[in-house]
Structure 1
Amino acid sequence: MKYKLGDFVRFVDEKMEGFVTRIIDEQMIGVTGEDDFEIPVLASKVTYIHGYHPAEATKSTSTADEKPVTPGEFVQKGVYIGVVTDARASSVVHFHLINETSFQLLATLTTDKQQTFKGEFAGVIAPKSTENMYSAQLADLQVWPKFIFSVLFSTKQNIEPPAPLAVHEKFKAKDFSTTKKNIPLLNQPGWLIRLDEPELVIDAQKLKESFFETPTEKIVIEKPVSEVDLHIEKLRDDYQFLSSSEIMEIQLAHFHKALDAAIVHQLPDITFIHGAGNGTLRNELHKQLGRHKKVQTFMDARKEKFGYGATKVLLK
């Protein structure tokens, strides 16, 4: 496949043009025009529009252009992945390796999709520069492969390079649910993921002293409401990007938090609204309530109001 996401193309047989927003297979691509409608088309039926350069494209400085930096000014930390949306095709996101250090980076990106590995990028990123490594459809986040980032550090100066980085990342919807921030060097809004996390330094003396300190703050647990709605749209704004297993995990975590708070505040009962659906969440709640030591009994709550979509829990 010679085309990649974000390429600007023109139809051979029609007066239409747009951006590649989906790679369907080796022969088919999806092209989105000004009307934001994606059209599947054979790759052989479109052609590049020469002279167009995406705003996201950045050029790396040649390895021979490394400028001397005094040891005091040499920056050793600051390797990130910046994820930004395409300026013209908002459904497409681009992954940029951002090098804020004074090292040259020898970087690769390999994708792992169910043990099928593919080299997506290999190159040199100059100090204080960026490089576009990969592009993807944000709507396909649930089926994105695992990303394997590898980075080596290099400099002609008399400075010891840090250990190579090998970061394995499986992105989830929650990684893109936060507010966008301005990405350094790109000067575009997006999401920033740090690859060279600062090392955790443990002060043994302070750790020893902490064992003998009296807690100064008391943990305050808020009193829960009498009816707790576990529908995922009530708990998360980005629920449409979550898988069924992630949804269940979030709902159960909220259930346990509310149940524990009800026990702490010695409430006589609490009702969980889980909906009828296919009964998966209801069955899981009943299974966990059945073996909880602080639960006296539980039952369907007010069938005239909830049907079989809520459970009332009586506490000891």
Structure 2
Amino acid sequence: MKFKIGDKVLVKDSVVKGKVAKLLKDKVFVLDEDGFELPYQESQLILVNIEQSKLSLYTDINNKMLLQKERLVEGTRRSTKKSKQEKYGVVMEVDLHVEKLVKSKSGMSNADILNKQLDTANHKVNFAIKNRIPKIVFIHGVGEGVLKEELYRLFHRYSLRFEDASYQKYGLGATEVTF
């Protein structure tokens, strides 16, 4: 087994996260954030070595890899022909932070929030397809990456091209979708 008692884990295809409480022959019992001990197969779990929010605190903007990525993206942008909408900066931006989507998030569980964000994203993708909008930038934030992974699944269902949005403009928390 690759898990130890006390390891932080995420459950694939779910918003459940917690710590490994027990290990049996074929089951890993996870103590979730609500205090429930739930059994999972090892293949259903992802080990979390460091929280994404803590990781972002240590991100160095002068990092060699980020600088190389920035140069590569800038070089690619110069060489591609831009549509009129892109030329004049008409790109649809959708902020998926829950504070932008609802008046109050009190009483909403993490699953409710995620579902609201995904419903909004799905609606905006359909709107862009119907109205022939060439690009959407979804601002999702850094967080722990759950929303980002679910957005990627949504984009794969529509067979859309997507990549990290401009680091200079949005930082690490946005994805650009091209139709």
TM-score by length of structure 2 reads 0.48
Q: Which has the larger radius of gyration?
A: 1
With a CA cutoff of 8 Å and minimum separation of 6, indicate the structure with the bigger relative contact order. 2
Instruction: Judging by fraction of residues, say which structure has more helix.
Output: 2
